[in-house]
Chains A and B, each alone.
Chain A
Amino acid sequence: MFRLLSIEFHKLKNSKSSKILSIIYFVLFCFIALFASIRFNFGSIDFRVADQGIFNFPYIWHFNTYFLAFLKLFLAIVIVSMMSSEYTNRTLKQNLIDGLSKEEFILSKFYSILVFALASTILVFLVSMVLGLIFSDYDEIDIIFSEMEYLPAYFVKLTGFFSLCMFFGILLKRSAFALGFLFLLWIFEGIIQLVVRFQAKSLDFIVDFLPLQSMSNLIVEPITKLSTIKSAASQINPGFEKDYDVSWFGMLIVVVWTLIFVYGSYNLLKRRDL
């Protein structure tokens, strides 16, 4: 495993675009968190995002994992290009000739996906911890470490998404096509959801099994959970009730998708003549 990781890391380390994108990703990550703590002064309006209660433990775990997950697109580009550049430079062929098996090739990519997802999860943890300790109104130990299931959910979500990127990268061999296809899949899932919602209510359960939707289901939007907005919402609609918890079944769906994408990538590679 370490041999494969060191092979993959050697490739990433020496690729300028991957390096720059990864750095942008991790810098932006910290920047966004910092941004929230800036105090805005527009004449009479004195506003600070951090004072709105979003950095209270344990709410911060939910809030940060939800919003920082959008940045995964940067890493998605890195992953797609690390797959497709192997095709365009024909280095995949050379790797195989040099004695890497197809299985090892896919595994080396998947391991680096796991490392990326893990690094990002650790960063989310650290950033949230620091922001929380600075701004949170509650700082009792058992409150700080409660509701942390959003972190494993975040990890599973990223791993699933990156596996999907890897699969598209292998399937289409060109980064631009793969990213375009990702966008198409997103639109396609949107259409299915609309159709199901308005035309075939009984098929509603299908929606939760779509790859992108199942990933986004893992961490439900945290906005309406915020106390100020929650009270407003319950005035408009007294019956407003939403489940914000991470569902284990939802996690399982994403894990199964991840396995399908990894195995699918392997199978594609195995069947193809290079």
Chain B
Amino acid sequence: METILKIDELTKKFGNLVAVDRLSFEIEKGNVYGILGPNGSGKSTTLGMVLNVVNKTSGNFSWFNGNKQTHEALKKVGAIIESPNFYPSMSAEDNLKLVCKIKGVDYSKIDEKLEIVNLLDRKKHSFKSYSLGMKQRLAIASALLNDPEILILDEPTNGLDPQGIHQIREIIKNIAADGMTILLASHLLDEVEKVCSHVVVIRNGVKLYSGLVDQMNATHGFFEVKSNDRIKLEDFLSNHPKIEKFTELEDNLYKAFLDSPYDSQKFNEEAFAKGVIFSHLVQRKDSLEEQFLQLTNQK
């Protein structure tokens, strides 16, 4: 597998504040990655460092196995961070021409990419006349100009109305379906869940989890059980071989975690045989959101 970006113990300090703390991960070609973290967790700072706009304090990162200087490597990268930044009085077309000049790309790509984001008919209009959604789509067109090896998106749907969010997501999904490597930073879980295959979760600049999205969700679920006889129920749960641990949520309502997959009907039968009668039995898995909150709330 070809490595596109490798981050090794990357650290950024702003005075006493450690914004990114010895963060390491790798990005491989063909996958869609999400960086997930609450606001202020160091996502944008991390991206800023690999994109040459924020100076690292220590650690390393290398693009494309370190064969190129950062700014040369960035010509093969397409990135949008935070808000779309363009020259306000220039038309969309002129703005993209400028990007072509910087990246050394032919002008012929401009119309092709504007078509993808559905802005072709507005290309002669000045950037400042665009709505936020259009600006963001122009930014995506700009990032795609050089047919990049990787597309980096930092909060691409931030501040957009539902329609705008939907448009951007459709575009991202289409691009991802074409096999492009994408790195998507977001604090929105469903966004990451919908498009990403891999995820890195960070909080306060520290990496909490990195791996497949599915595996982050890969606990074997739990039973929610309720019974009038709490002593018998607790006895049953603590002696059951498949129950890893259990906690009491509220009055007589218990959450029992499984250590391997188990059938709820069988579980119920066993309980009945031991004289425990459930007044409530639900088997389910944590949603990604609950998992994420658990991860980020850990001290």
Where the two chains meet, the residues of A that have a C-beta atom closer than 8 Å to any C-beta of B are: 3, 6-7, 10-11, 14-16, 89-91, 93-102, 104, 270-274
Among B51, B81, B85, B88, max chain A CB count under 10 A is at: B85
A11, B71: Cβ atoms under 8 Å? no
CB of B207 within 8 Å of the partner chain: no
Given contact pairs A3-B104, A10-B97, a sample of 5 additional A-B residue pairs in the complex whose CB atoms are under 8 Å apart: A15-B90, A97-B74, A100-B102, A104-B71, A270-B55
Residue ID in chain B nearest A7 by CB atoms: B101
Residues of the B chain whose Cβ atoms lie less than 8 Å from the Cβ of A10? 94, 97-98, 101
Which residues in chain B, 95-113, are within 8 Å of chain A measured between CB atoms?
Answer: 97-99, 101-104
CB pair B79 A97 closer than 8 Å? yes
Given contacts A7-B101, A11-B87, A14-B87, contact A273 B55 (CB under 8 A): yes
Say whether, besides A10-B94, A273-B48, A273-B55, A99 and B102 are in contact (CB < 8 Å). yes
Residue of A nearest to B95 (CB): A14
- In the complex, what distance in Å separates the CA atom of A262 from the CA atom of B81? 28
How far does the alpha carbon of A11 sit from the alpha carbon of B69 in the complex, in Å?
Answer: 25
- A105 shortest CB reach to chain B, Å: 10
Q: Can you list 20 residue pairs at the A/B interface with Cβ under 8 Å?
A: A10-B101, A14-B89, A14-B90, A14-B91, A16-B89, A91-B86, A96-B52, A97-B51, A97-B52, A97-B53, A97-B81, A98-B103, A99-B74, A99-B77, A99-B103, A101-B52, A101-B70, A104-B71, A274-B53, A274-B54
Distance in angstroms between the alpha carbons of A172 and B185 in the assembled complex: 31
In the complex, B72 has a CB within 8 A of chain A: yes
**Shortest Cβ gap from A102 to chain B (Å):** 8
B29 within 8 A of A: no
Residue of A nearest to B99 (CB): A98
Q: How far is the CB of A240 from chain B (nearest CB, A)?
A: 54
Which size class do B's interface residues fall under?
20 to 34
Contacts of B79 in A (CB 8 A): 97
Q: Are the CB atoms of A91 and B101 closer together than 8 Å?
A: no
Choose among A7, A16, A93, A274 the residue that contacts B102 (Cβ–Cβ < 8 A).
A7
Interface of A is mostly: helix
Instruction: Work out how many contacts link A and B, with CB atoms closer than 8 A.
Output: 79
Structural contact, B97 and A94, CB atoms closer than 8 A: no
Q: Smallest distance from the beta carbon of B78 to chain A beta carbons, Å?
A: 9
Q: Does B24 contact A (CB under 8 A)?
A: no
Residues of the B chain whose Cβ atoms lie less than 8 Å from the Cβ of A98: 74-75, 99, 102-103, 142
A11 to chain B, nearest CB (A): 7
Known: A10-B94, A10-B98, A104-B71. A15 touches B89 (CB 8 A): yes
Q: B101 touching A6 by the CB < 8 A rule?
A: yes
A273-B103 contact, Cβ under 8 Å, with A7-B98, A89-B88, A96-B71: no
Q: Does B60 contact A (CB under 8 A)?
A: no
Q: Is the CB of A91 within 8 A of B87?
A: yes
Q: B102 to A89, Cβ gap below 8 A?
A: no
Q: Which residues of A contact B89 (CB under 8 A)?
A: 14-16
Given contacts A3-B101, A10-B98, A101-B71, is CB(A96)–CB(B85) below 8 Å? no
Per-position 1/0 for B141-170, Cβ under 8 A of A: 010000000000000000000000000000
Point out the residues of chain A lying under 8 angstroms from B86, CB to CB.
89, 91, 94
Most chain A CB neighbours (cut-off 10 Å) among B54, B88, B91, B102 = B102
B85 near A11: Cβ-Cβ < 8 Å: no
Bound complex: CA of A95 vs CA of B85, how far in Å?
9
B296 contacts the other chain (Cβ, under 8 Å)? no
- Judge whether A273 and B87 touch: CB under 8 Å: no
Task: Give bound CA distance, A89 to B89, whole Å.
Answer: 11
The answer to whether B83 has its CB under 8 Å from any CB of chain A is yes
**Contacting residues, chain B, for A96 (C-beta < 8 A):** 51-53, 71, 74
A98 to B81, CA, bound (A): 11
Q: How far is the CA of A99 from the CA of B77 in the complex (A)?
A: 8
Measured CB to CB, the closest approach of chain A to B157, in angstroms, equals 19
Say yes or no: B85 contacts A93, CB within 8 Å. yes
- Residue among B83, B86, B89 with the highest chain A CB neighbour number at 10 A: B89
Residues of A within 8 A of B85 (CB): 89-91, 93-94
